Structure 1
């Protein structure tokens, strides 16, 4: 059976038409993240074949959603399409010609990750002329003890890695709720920063849209701009916002956020209607709680996943990869959901906010429940950490670690080899001779899916480490670190020029130059439907 008869193809024109008409479509790049970041269509979501069974049920909750998969000629797309069908998805097609076919048909190709969200941020700045300060200007204000407060709109872990000295961690969705308390004097200059540009722009413009009376500015180019200016960043900072204690601050924030959502034509719904929509399964429905992860863990509305609002706007393709889906947001204060929804609506997302929630609705605690369509892993022959430690004293056993490469480099079982499941056949020639294999990862969740494929490719016995490397660590067994044995290349994660503290200045500048060009790319692409209020 040929590929053409096994799966239908959808042309560039057909996919483009679906995007323009806001019909549901999941355009999926099944390569690893690094090649995805090098080139992909604007609304292509990255869902690597390596982790498909783990990610698909959560990110593609409706089995009849139209799925279009592609690669760049590596043969991954057909394998992914087959796996989708095995998992029960009923409308699976291939992108005609793959990535090259898209480009040959005149489709625009984008770089980096979360490209649609970043392009939208650039469009916002272009149309609203969001005020900004250059790094030296902010440094001068700080050095002169001016009345200025710097609010870092990234996740707290990003803030701790590196931050503007004296800044406070206030992730994006929290800004409108907390700015009036953090800067009660309306003459205080508020500067919003992130690592690059997008969250700085969206954060500053959120405050402006919500009518916060202070002078507002984004830190132009974020911590990248700070570094390129030769200025020193702080590390390990812990300054976070305090709870809102003044009722008038909360009331003002809620009123202004609702007004912004109304201007953006955000839909309104109730808890019961949102649940009914999800149960009907005639549309792809995403339900997100946009508060902080800590609040979500303490209590949340059943059926809602944690998606802090600032990250949801920044990483829309990761949280909600089905373009044309319906997105429903909830919070406990009427601020964060409305502000987040206002941005999603401008990004041409059909978005609703749940009204009328009371503390009695937040009845579920802890992490989100397992996805409704979660895939049961294959039955595996298991081995305990202590038994594996004994087995490794003699030759003949090869341990394959299918965790993320960053986790592998940080710590792994001595002698274990890193491998990408999607490239397992290519990895095997790099391994030493083995009488048997043991598969592991963080918890062995992914290893259970890799084990039967490893057995089929090698014809050798394969066991799965019970509890994964986490159980090995808990047993107090030895570890090693570093790129000691790489059977596959480290392409599972794109090295972001705005993360970490050791990036080359040339890479930082190239990233900024790319962001500056996104508005022109949006115009050439023509499928986005963005509008800026």
Structure 2
């Protein structure tokens, strides 16, 4: 019988947040239920993949971790798993999410809420300039001297974009804008899908002192669609290279902004000292593009392009109160990213004096996942294909534990989509089998689930070596669509600003929610935001 887990109350968590002590408040439900309601600084770490995410997202094993669910029975199992993974200070939130509510805690909807709420706080404090969709469309029709800069990731930009817009992901704006609008009279419009990255991107250019007239596209592509205006799809306009003089000027501007925000300066010697401090969590991120990162980066650093790092602090840095060290080679992207993180209450440092020879690690790091203890029976893709061909109907069932989006895109014929956290329910929902084969994108997740499934059934449990990716690489047949759902698709929350088929009501509801975030921050009282 495992020892009882300690409890932390709403007041314990609130005080730690207000004191800026290190704490990870972890919601172990799937993303959709998490997005329906959660505390401001809660991070989503679903129990179904906790072994894959914990070590990278919470790198210090004696970090204070408080785990909760909403009565689904997931939190205790997740806490016990974290303890087995070596974490020494794991507690349950007293009463779970409902206990938080009953104690007077504020709850928030959607994902990446700290960043979105911060964006609204910035606009309220700084009155960030913006233009409506109708005003921007009129300027385009008049062929005004202007550029539209899309601050989202390139893949988001390609899905839908404002006509003429150029992809310049957030942290690139201060580095690239002067080259894209060299005439100080040229108007710069910054957009994203909704509001946050438009606001932060616009305010970045204003803070950096660009002489151009600068405005956010109010409400982004959502506002554009609600105005009944057409979007482009599949655009490919991207920023170009800049001159050395432009880089030097942007670096000076970014450094001034970072200094105003109170960003710390660090050397490689400081970084070594940080790494030796066992009482602090230190996140280390390279904020250049993924392509630059893969070519060469500092050992131990992860890739987090600056605009997305500011947008997704809860994903990249679930330990609130941790230290953050950022790196680039140009002195622009790290300083601008750090300036925003500092205003969000993070202890953030920029590495100075980095030389290209220091970037001696290439590629993208592999997931550091703990080993499995139980013996696993494996099958190759060819073996599984043969079983599916030869065995009688009902003898074998393939369970796909990958993401529902990957499953819908392509999966092994006859496979069931299943959430690992729902395995007991899954066995009741599908016809019984004498052999279960587990797959996921790579087989990493399947190997953790194998022993759990073995405890639930007397049937043989096998893991597909290399997962669905190996099946695809072998050139074997595939299916598409929601052919067999043994679990609901709650592993992903559908954002109202994604895709091109969202109902108007959902888009307007999302904007109304964003407008209300400032008042929610005041009610919550734990944010610690300070806008320069």
State TM-score, norm by structure 2. Answer: 0.98
CA contact (8 A) 2:75 2:92 kept: yes
CA distance in 2, matches of 1:168, 1:377: 46
Give, in whole Å, the separation in 1 of the partners of 2:209 and 2:365.
Answer: 34
For residues 122-153 of structure 1, the C-alpha deviation after alignment (integer angstroms, 9 at most, x for no partner) is 00000100000100111111111100100000
- Alignment partners' CA distance in 2, 1:61 and 1:228: 43
**Aligned residue in 2 for 1:54:** 52
Cα distance in 2 between the residues matched to 1:514 and 1:328: 32
> Partner residue of 1:408?
407
Matching of residues 120-519 of structure 1 within 5 Å: 120-244=118-242, 246-371=243-368, 374-378=369-373, 379-393=375-389, 394=391, 395=393, 396-519=395-518
The match for 1:67 among 65, 68, 76 is 65
Q: What is the CA-CA distance between 1:191 and the residue it aligns to? A: 0.3
The residue number in structure 1 matching 2:14 is 16
1:45, CA displacement in angstroms? 0.2
CA apart distance, 1:455:
1.1
CA deviation vs aligned residue, 1:352-375 (integer Å, no higher than 9, x gap): 00011111111111112544xx31
CA distance in 2, matches of 1:165, 1:276: 49
Whole-angstrom distance in 2 between the partners of 1:59 and 1:312 = 13
3-state SS, counterpart of residue 425 of structure 2: helix
8 Å CA contact retained: 1:346, 1:532: yes
Alpha-carbon distance in 1 for matches of 2:397, 2:426: 13
CA contact (8 A) 2:52 2:367 kept: no
**Residues 509-530 of structure 1 deviation map (CA, whole Å, 9 limit, x = unaligned):** 0000000000000000000000
Would the aligned equivalents of 1:399 and 1:417 in 2 still touch at CA under 8 Å? yes
- Secondary structure at the aligned position of 1:312 is classed as helix
- Please give the alpha-carbon distance, in whole angstroms, between the structure 2 residues aligned to 1:96 and 1:383: 43
Kept after mapping to 1: 8 A contact 2:146/2:187: yes
Q: Cα distance, 1:425 vs. partner? A: 1.1
Distance 1:459 1:332 in 2: 57
Contact 1:377 1:445 in 2 (8 A): no
CA distance in structure 2 between the aligned counterparts of 1:385 and 1:368, rounded to whole angstroms: 26
Q: Counterparts of 2:332 and 2:422 in 1: how far apart (Å)?
A: 45
**Kindly tell me: are residues 369 and 392 of structure 1, through their superposed partners in 2, closer, same or farther at Cα, counting changes over 3 Å?**
closer
Deviations 1:328-367 (A, max 9, x none): 0000000000000000000000000001111111111111
Would the aligned equivalents of 2:284 and 2:302 in 1 still touch at CA under 8 Å? yes
Pairwise mapping of residues 95-114 of structure 1 onto structure 2 (< 5 A)?
Answer: 95-114=93-112
**In 2, are the aligned partners of 1:300 and 1:364 still within 8 Å (CA)?**
yes
Mean Cα deviation higher: 263-272 or 44-53: 263-272
CA distance in 1, matches of 2:427, 2:195: 42
Q: Structure 1 length as normaliser, TM-score?
A: 0.98
Contact 1:124 1:130 in 2 (8 A): yes
Against the structure 1 CA distance between its residues 490 and 343, is the aligned structure 2 distance closer, same or farther, given a 3 Å change threshold?
same
Deviation at 1:34, TM superposition (A): 0.1
Counterpart CA distance in 1 for 2:311 and 2:22 is 21
Instruction: Report how many residues are paired.
Output: 528
Q: 1: CA distance between counterparts of 2:155 and 2:340?
A: 24
> Which residue of 2 is the match for residue 88 of structure 1?
86
Structure 2: runs of 5+ lacking an equivalent: none
Partners of 2:153 and 2:501 in 1: CA distance: 19
Three-state SS of the structure 2 residue aligned to 1:392 is helix
Contact 2:190 2:217 in 1 (8 A): yes
Moved over 3 A (4+): none
Following the alignment from structure 1 to structure 2, what is the Cα–Cα distance between the partners of residues 62 and 20? 21
Deviations 1:142-183 (A, max 9, x none): 111100100000000000111011100000000000000000
